[in-house]
Amino acid sequence: MNKYYITTPIYYPSANFHIGHCYCTIVADAIARYKRMKGFDVFFQTGTDEHGQKIQKKAEEVGKTPKQYVDEIVADAQDLWKTLNISYDNFIRTTDKKHIECVQKIFKKLYDQGDIYKGEYKGLYCTPCESFWTESQLVDGKCPDCGRDVYEVSEEAYFFKLSKYQDRLVKYYDEHPEFIEPISRKNEMLNNFIKPGLEDLCVSRTSFDWGIPVTFDENHVVYVWLDALTNYISSLGYLSDDDSLMKKYWPADIHIVGKEIVRFHTIIWPIILMALDLELPTKVFGHGWLIVNGGKISKSLGNYKDPREYIDSYGVDAVRYFALREVPFGSDGNFSEESLIARINGDLANILGNLVQRTISMGHKYFDGKIENRNIEDELSGNFIDEINKLDSLVSEKMEKLEINLALEEIFNLLRASNKYIDETTPWILAKNEDNRDKLETVLYNLLESIRVSALLLRPFLPDTSKAIISQLNTQSEELSYIGTNSYNLNNPEILFKRIDVK
């Protein structure tokens, strides 16, 4: 069985999560579910990035220890992922013993082999973003990410020799054109960061202590990226007594990350792996941001609602659908409640909900819910069956390219074609003439097959809705193509998505 290791970033538990975090996690979940459906042995990992000065400060502000503080937020995050039906196989916390020990061993190994050395750090630091900047990166003298003040800091620190691996990295990019996607992000890395020359990376700090201690120099804690990025292998037991998961799943097939952290995943991470003599991930995909009122949704900007409010109002699958359908994966996209509602009304209620409701109701009205194929052939039905049979490969083509919104569009194209098939075959007119009974039953049968195949292919994207449709169809059949020999004994129709009245 082919394996597939997929990861999201590990999130900072510095406040509650917002719809932007849900976006990435929903997409990763849909890909993981799709791969499982296609027979892959999937390992899907998400988690939390819990160390650092910012978290230490926040905890102090609310009178808690950092661990108490993160424990509460992590529990809340796990609850959110459960609500969103996120099917992760592993949730890693950087405060896990397994992770801590792995980071410490890696730090020592890199130090022993001369890739980490002691020096002095001088730099401009943005505390909310936990980022160091050079003078030239500042925008109007402020942090280019959040626009706030930066402070000059100077302290003893350990450094990791990124520069030593620069040429190998460029060579790797050249030989692996699929490594960074979308391609524009690769050019950005080369032109903005690599060609100007890589500076060695600060990997320890002494000015705070909420971090992983450096075992051979106790004043230091491991600083940010060496700790965070290592999550992708510490969870698999790298350098531990049991590295069976490492052998099975590494290298990762895809790291899904937001565009602002592509840099860390395609420069620092590959170099850490090269230094450890490990294989590099097959792909790093940098997605865009969900934007609200022209700006990134962000905890430090405070412009967000708890995603549970949207879920409570509109349902989990409506939120999942929006995240997967609205924005081409890779680009930025606007999030607003109006556009969420437009998707629910336009696609989910009108196209999908209506089709299922109409078809199942007609099945009950004309055949008491019991429908078999009477094989009455005509050109219209033949073409329709061809479309049903094409759907699986169309969806798979799009998913291979991570064009998730287009994969969904293919499914909705078939649902639209099914509604059109109803309009063109006019079952209510066929029902008026007893001679057309077999024809009517064949039409309904074809529609049920179309709904069945669509519902099965919707499963990775909208798991609850898919299940509800399959339960209304009352079928066990798992084939992703038209079958001429099913027989249906339908359950009662139930409304899948209510139209939202926008007042």
The answer to whether residue 106 forms part of the interface with ligand ME8 (CB under 6 A) is no
Residue whose CB is nearest to ligand ME8 in the complex, by number? 258
Smallest distance from the beta carbon of 261 to ligand ME8, in angstroms? 5
In sequence order, the β-bridge partners of residue 254 are 6
Smallest distance from the beta carbon of 24 to ligand ME8, in angstroms? 5
Q: Which residues contact 102 (CB under 8 A, 6 or more apart)?
A: 230, 233, 234, 238, 239, 240
Count, residues near ligand ME8 per rule CB under 6 A? 21
Neighbour tally for 472: CB within 10 Å: 21
**49 or 326, CB closer to ligand ME8?**
49
The answer to whether residue 322 forms part of the interface with ligand ME8 (CB under 6 A) is no
Binding mask of the shown chain, residues 259 to 298, with x at each position contacting ligand ME8 by CB under 6 A: -xx---------------------------xx-----xxx
**129 or 451, CB closer to ligand ME8?**
129
> Contact with ligand ME8 (CB under 6 A): which of 5, 6, 10, 221?
10
> Which parts of 18-129 are beta strand (E)?
41-48, 90-93, 116-126
The span of 3-11, 132-140, 205-213, 454-462 binding ligand ME8 (CB under 6 A) equals 3-11
Binding mask of the shown chain, residues 14 to 33, with x at each position contacting ligand ME8 by CB under 6 A: ------xx-xx---------
CA distances from 211 to 9, 118, 203 (A): 18, 18, 11
The span of 9-17, 159-167, 236-244, 275-283 binding ligand ME8 (CB under 6 A) equals 9-17
> Contact with ligand ME8 (CB under 6 A): which of 92, 189, 257, 351?
257
DSSP string, 392-446: HHHHHHHHHTT-HHHHHHHHHHHHHHHHHHHHHH-HHHHTT-GGGHHHHHHHHHH
User: In this structure, are residues 380 and 307 in contact, taking their beta carbons and an 8 Å threshold?
Assistant: no
**69 or 366, CB closer to ligand ME8?**
69
Alpha-carbon distance 224 to 239, whole Å?
Answer: 20
The span of 62-70, 100-108, 120-128, 224-232 binding ligand ME8 (CB under 6 A) equals 224-232
The span of 30-38, 146-154, 227-235, 488-496 binding ligand ME8 (CB under 6 A) equals 227-235
Q: Which helix (H) or strand (E) holds 160?
A: strand 151-160
Short-list 65, 50, 53, 12, CA closest to 209: 53
**21 or 459, CB closer to ligand ME8?**
21
DSSP string, 437-488: HHHHHHHHHHHHHHHHHHHHHHTTT-HHHHHHHHHHHT-----SS--TT-EE
- Please tell me what DSSP assigns to residue 40: -
Please report, as ranges, the residues that interact with ligand ME8 according to CB under 6 A.
9-12, 20-21, 23-24, 49, 228-229, 231, 257-258, 260-261, 289-290, 296-298
